[in-house]
Structure 1
């Protein structure tokens, strides 16, 4: 399963096949993920672009999840930041947004929690 598959919520039509994966998913499931209000600046920049905004919503849900799976999140975060760099660069809130993107990468580097694989 790829990061894109996990972050988009698509499972390819097949349920998890291993008991370990079922247990892992059950143990890390949460009813709701609250997005940090500071991250609203990222949304404000792309709010006029529904596809980009939807992709950011999924990414922010993963970034704010209590059990972050950095090996899956980081490629998505990197791709999103690079692909949409020009939108953020051209916006008045761009510097604040880039501070947040950089902060996410530092959080990943500093996270000492065991990774879900």
Structure 2
């Protein structure tokens, strides 16, 4: 019993490491610096991002809060575009690295929500971040990409919003078109594999 306890202590101790915030994430703290009441929350988020054993569920939840609930900071801060690009990469990383399916799904949904919000409200200053978001999605493997195919938030709707409201002069339209083609092919294959589409739809809407 003592041997097992000692082994457990050693194993647990390996997860307790001193974490310094990675410099590449400091822009997120800089953009939120005016919200002093959130400094501890932001620091905990950045340390988790910098930790060798990341809790992706926590990271996705906190990234959603900072990126979406405080989106106005991304829009008005001089480094808001850099922060928005980083949030897009964080969500995409979660889709790839998280172990739990629900965390991967949440990360995909949040990346789509962020992209939609940038298209609707971001203005030309966030065009580069939109490009990065689409690049991150397009670079995912088929298994990870399937979370975007099955998401409630459709890439086609987001692309339509981009073309309607965003300044397209700084957008990579060929890359967006290529991603949409992949997405539509994925949607078509997904529905082909569903034996009873109505049963699936009723399940999704909770009926």
The within-5 A match list for 1:32-47 is 32-47=18-33
Gaps of 5+ in 1: 1-18
Query: Which residue of structure 2 aligns with residue 107 of structure 1?
Result: 93
CA RMSD of aligned residues (A): 2.3
Distance 1:71 1:26 in 2: 22
Whether 2:91 is the aligned partner of 1:73: answer no
Distance 1:70 1:106 in 2: 11
Which has a greater percent of helix? Answer: 2
Whether 2:49 is the aligned partner of 1:63: answer yes
Gaps of 5+ in 2: 101-207
Q: Secondary structure at the match of 2:53?
A: coil
When the two structures are superposed, what TM-score results if normalisation uses the length of structure 2? Answer: 0.40
When the two structures are superposed, what TM-score results if normalisation uses the length of structure 1? Answer: 0.67
Query: Which residue of structure 1 aligns with residue 39 of structure 2?
Result: 53
Query: Which residue of structure 2 aligns with residue 85 of structure 1?
Result: 71
Question: Across the two proteins, how many residue pairs are aligned to each other?
Answer: 93
Larger Rg: 2
Moved over 2 A (4+): 22-27
Which gives a bigger RCO, structure 1 or 2 (Cα 8 Å, sep 6+)? 1
